[in-house]
């Protein structure tokens, strides 16, 4: 079914409040022409409204589902509507698989950061001022917070795609990618002097901040944002790959797995395909692949803290 039939269905639904035999009580103008703005005791309880979309969104969703059924009946594959594949909602959640995998990534990052924190301040020796010997501790703390923030907004965005959640998700992801590139440079080149760190980080922070402001307040250019994210991702993978190829780090094999796995997973972001059974598209599978990589990544960070601490303790003796 072509896009004109879809748009016609949506336009009719927004006038009548019904699409394909399904009517929405929260639409202002239902098919009988009587507005639904009744007294509060005639409306749905708040705990039931959380899963409810607005009239336009429900009209678009149901018209999309109807059109896809018609396309499937004549042997045609799925198409995108307003730039997104047709997903099957579950309890009002727009992309349930991506939400679940984003939540698991959030949990893995929280567990990884917490175990890193416990290792630094409770298991490894501390300096006399109670600070960790590991020179990159503060960098990884910030990384952990940015990662958890990014996956939180990813889960929120995939549960309900509106303008605000979209901007928060994309902005958080760019911030995490940009900071990850900075950390890869500082750790790979063993930059420990604070002034040097500031000089390295400043131009990248300026670019990432400008890019986020551009997306939020000028124009939300999906194509440009994808190019920026892929460029940053490839750059940091190359930096880690070169470093792990020349270093004698005892846990370099873990970093190799993360680099290779991250590179392969990035292909899922570039190669897009429709969701299987309405749930698992390329983006959702990419979210799934990052879960085990996150566990291994934080394991490498903990090993790096142990490795650097042991070296510094030997020098102190």
pLDDT tens track for 243-258: 999 999 999 999 999 9
Most confident of 28-37, 53-62, 105-114: 105-114
**Cβ atoms 263, 232 nearer than 8 A:** no
Compute the distance between CA of residue 298 and CA of residue 128 in angstroms, rounded to an integer.
27
Higher pLDDT, 146 or 282: 146
Question: For residues 281 and 178, which has the higher predicted lDDT (pLDDT)?
Answer: 178
**Which whole number is the average pLDDT over 160-168?**
90
Higher pLDDT, 269 or 258: 258
Q: How many CB atoms lie within 10 A of CB 284?
A: 23
Q: Mean of the pLDDT values across residues 260-271?
A: 89
18: β partners = 23
* The model's pTM: 0.86
pLDDT at 215: 95
Kindly write down the DSSP assignment for every residue of 267-286, as one continuous string: HHHHS--PPBTTTB-HHHHH
pLDDT in tens, 11-35: 888 788 788 777 877 675 444 444 4
Q: What does the DSSP assignment read for 161-172?
A: --HHHHHHHHHH
Q: Which two tokens stand for residue 208?
A: 């990432």
Measured distance CA(285)–CA(89) in Å, rounded:
17
β partners of residue 126: 132
Rounded Cα distance between 308 and 317, Å, is: 15
Residue 273 confidence (pLDDT): 82
Average pLDDT, the chain: 87
pLDDT at 41 over 50: no
Over residues 194-241, the pLDDT tens digits come to 999 999 999 999 999 999 999 999 999 989 999 999 999 999 999 999
Pairing of β 18-19 and β 22-23: antiparallel
Token digits of residue 43: 């409306």
Instruction: Name the nearest CA neighbour of 8 among 72, 60, 85, 76.
Output: 60
What percent of the chain lies above the pLDDT cut of 90?
60
Contacts of 101 (CB under 8 A, 6+ apart): 284, 287, 288, 290, 291
Q: pLDDT confidence of 153, banded at 50, 70, 90?
A: very high
**Residue recorded with tokens 């567990």:** 111
Cα dihedral sign, 139-144-149-151: positive
Q: What is the DSSP letter of 23?
A: E
Q: Compute the distance between CA of residue 105 and CA of residue 109 in angstroms, rounded to an integer.
A: 6
> Which carries the bigger pLDDT value, residue 80 or residue 103?
103
Please provide residue 130's backbone torsions phi and psi, each rounded to the nearest 5 degrees. 70, 15
303 contacts 250 by C-beta, under 8 angstroms = yes
Q: How many CB atoms lie within 10 A of CB 189?
A: 12
pLDDT tops 90 at residue 59 = no
Domains assigned to the chain? 6-74 (no CATH), 96-316 (1.20.1070)
């Amino acid at each position: 079914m072509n896009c004109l039939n879809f748009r016609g269905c949506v336009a009719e639904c927004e006038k009548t409040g019904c699409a394909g035999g399904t009517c929405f009580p929260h639409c202002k103008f239902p098919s009988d022409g009587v507005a639904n703005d009744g007294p509060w005791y005639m409306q749905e309880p708040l705990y039931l409204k959380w899963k409810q979309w607005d009239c336009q969104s429900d009209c678009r969703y149901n018209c999309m589902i109807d059109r896809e059924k018609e396309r499937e009946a004549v042997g045609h594959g799925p198409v995108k509507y307003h730039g997104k594949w047709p997903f099957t909602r579950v309890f009002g959640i727009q992309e349930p698989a991506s939400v679940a995998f984003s939540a698991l990534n959030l949990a893995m990052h929280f567990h990884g950061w917490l175990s890193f924190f416990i290792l630094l301040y409770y298991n490894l020796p501390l300096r006399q001022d109670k600070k960790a010997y590991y020179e990159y501790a503060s960098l990884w703390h910030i990384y952990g917070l940015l990662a958890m923030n990014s996956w939180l907004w990813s889960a929120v965005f995939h549960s309900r795609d509106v303008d605000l959640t979209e901007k928060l998700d994309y902005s958080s992801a760019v911030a995490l990618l940009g900071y990850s590139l900075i950390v890869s440079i500082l750790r790979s080149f063993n930059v420990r002097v604070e002034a040097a760190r500031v000089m390295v980080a400043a131009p990248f922070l300026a670019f990432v901040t400008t890019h986020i402001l551009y997306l939020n307040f000028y124009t939300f250019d999906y194509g440009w944002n994808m190019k920026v994210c892929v460029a940053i991702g490839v750059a940091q993978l190359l930096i880690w790959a070169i470093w792990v190829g020349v270093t004698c780090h005892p846990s370099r094999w873990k970093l190799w797995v993360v680099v290779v796995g991250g590179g392969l997973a990035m292909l899922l972001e570039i190669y897009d395909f429709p969701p299987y059974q309405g749930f698992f598209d390329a983006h959702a599978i990419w979210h799934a692949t990052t879960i085990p990589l996150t566990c291994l990544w934080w394991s490498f960070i903990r090993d790096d803290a142990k490795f650097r601490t042991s070296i510094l303790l030997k020098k102190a003796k």
